[in-house]
Amino acid sequence: MARAYSLLDRALMGADRGLKTLTRGSSTASRLRPAGDNPSGALNSDQRRHAAGLMRINHTGEVCAQALYQGQALTARNSSVKAAMAEAADEEIDHLAWCESRLKELGSHTSRLNPLFYAGSFAIGAAAGAISDRVSLGFVAATEDQVCEHLKAHLQTLPEDDRDSRAILEQMLEDEARHASKAIESGGQRFSPPIKSAMTLMSKVMTKTTYHL
């Protein structure tokens, strides 16, 4: 029989997950990192810098996803929704680890703004979960849809020879699309265009800052 965790238990577990998310080198993938058909070719300094900027954005996006899922799991009412949030968060850890390892290979670093974005995303997730599970699942779907759009755009602008980063982003795109579909199938609310537009504006703040920082 599954143990019923109290709100305090879930808060403490969430805090532990938050610390691990924000501590470099602490995320361990459960799946092997995707690899291109051939090793990446040599990248010049501008290509490496651009690839690192894109991978940093995607890493921070996964930090935000962890925070959203943890916040939603804390306030979700339905046990199956809590379990779904926890399962999605576990899968997103792979993305965190993959992006961080690729950033290291590119000679770069994760964003210094991650703690700020984590805190904001956690608060948003907790608020969505407190409103209703339907809104919470809808927020997951809308967020994952935006992530998919970012990933598609990044795949278009990655240096052609950066096959390692491309393989990672392609697998992430597949995973995120599945999360979005599952959230709607589980009863998530489809958000209106104005709400999605506001979310897009917020995401632009993250992408423009973390590309450099």
152-173 residue pLDDT tens: 999 999 998 899 999 999 999 9
**Tell me: the pLDDT tens digits for 17-37?**
655 566 666 677 878 888 766
Predicted pLDDT at 50: 94
Kind plus residue range of the DSSP H or E element containing 53: helix 45-75
Predicted pLDDT at 2: 45
Q: Is 144 annotated as ligand-binding?
A: yes
Measured distance CA(52)–CA(99) in Å, rounded: 9
pTM, entire model? 0.83
For tokens 């690899």, name the residue: 35
Q: Is 95 annotated as ligand-binding?
A: yes
- Of the candidates 45, 48, 23, the one whose C-alpha atom is nearest the C-alpha of residue 164 is 48
List of residues 6+ apart from 204 with CB closer than 8 A: none
Number of Cβ within 10 Å of residue 110's Cβ equals 20
Predicted pLDDT at 40: 67
Predicted pLDDT at 1: 43
Q: Does residue 33 sit in helix, strand or coil? A: coil
Measured distance CA(155)–CA(203) in Å, rounded: 18
For tokens 């602008």, name the residue: 157
Q: Is 100 annotated as ligand-binding?
A: no
Predicted pLDDT at 143: 83
Token couple for 94: 């792979």
Q: What is the overall mean pLDDT for the chain?
A: 81
**Tell me: the pLDDT tens digits for 38-84?**
666 678 989 999 999 999 999 998 888 888 888 877 776 777 766 66
Q: DSSP code of 24?
A: T
Is residue 159 within 8 A of residue 50, CB to CB? The reply is yes
Measured distance CA(179)–CA(62) in Å, rounded: 13
Percent of the chain topping pLDDT 90: 24
Higher pLDDT pick, 54 / 146: 54
Q: Is 185 annotated as ligand-binding?
A: no
Lowest mean pLDDT among 10-14, 26-30, 55-59, 96-100: 10-14
Kindly list the domain boundaries of the chain, sorted by start residue.
7-17+43-210
Question: Is the pLDDT reported for residue 206 higher than 90?
Answer: no
7-17+43-210 CATH pick, 1.20.1260.10, 1.10.20.10, 2.40.50.140, 3.30.365.10? 1.20.1260.10
- Of the candidates 146, 135, 144, 130, the one whose C-alpha atom is nearest the C-alpha of residue 182 is 144
